[in-house]
């Protein structure tokens, strides 16, 4: 898991390019979703974390964002 506040924009771009970051989460609400998630884009940088995959997010006690999972049901099987 990466904290947005701990990575520079340059590092983040590299992580995205390498496929190291596929999901974003809200540290305060303990919810994770896709990087395109509307609610994810609205949250504060200090609350945002990034995950490589769902297993990592689940392990840390995060719940999936309902919006994302309704729109993209294929994510359920990841
Ligand atoms: Zn979402």
| 31 has a pLDDT exceeding 50 | yes
Residue 42: per-residue pLDDT: 82
20: tokens are 């190291």
The pLDDT > 70 percentage for the chain reads: 88
Give me ligand 1 centre to Cα 40, in Å: 6
> Does residue 62 have a pLDDT over 50?
yes
The CA 66 to ligand 1 mean position distance, Å, reads 6
CATH superfamily of 2-77: DNA Methylphosphotriester Repair Domain (3.40.10.10)
**From edge to edge, which strands make up the β-sheet containing 63-64?**
2-3, 48-51, 23-26, 31-34, 63-64
**Cα–ligand 1 centroid distance for 6 (angstroms):** 22
- Decide: helix, strand or coil at residue 28: coil
Query: Mean of the pLDDT values across residues 44-64?
Result: 95
User: pLDDT tens-digit profile of 33-49?
Assistant: 999 887 777 889 999 99
Q: How far is the CA of 3 from the centre of ligand 1 (A)?
A: 18
Place of tokens 């992580």: 15
Distance 34 CA to ligand 1 centre (A): 6
């Amino acid at each position: 898991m990466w904290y947005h506040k701990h990575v520079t924009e340059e590092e983040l771009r590299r992580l995205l390019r390498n496929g190291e970051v596929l999901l974003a989460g809200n540290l305060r609400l303990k919810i994770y979703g896709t990087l395109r998630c509307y609610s994810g884009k609205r949250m504060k940088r200090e609350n945002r974390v990034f995950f490589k995959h769902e297993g990592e997010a689940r392990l840390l006690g995060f719940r999936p964002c309902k919006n994302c999972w309704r729109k993209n049901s294929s994510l359920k099987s990841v």
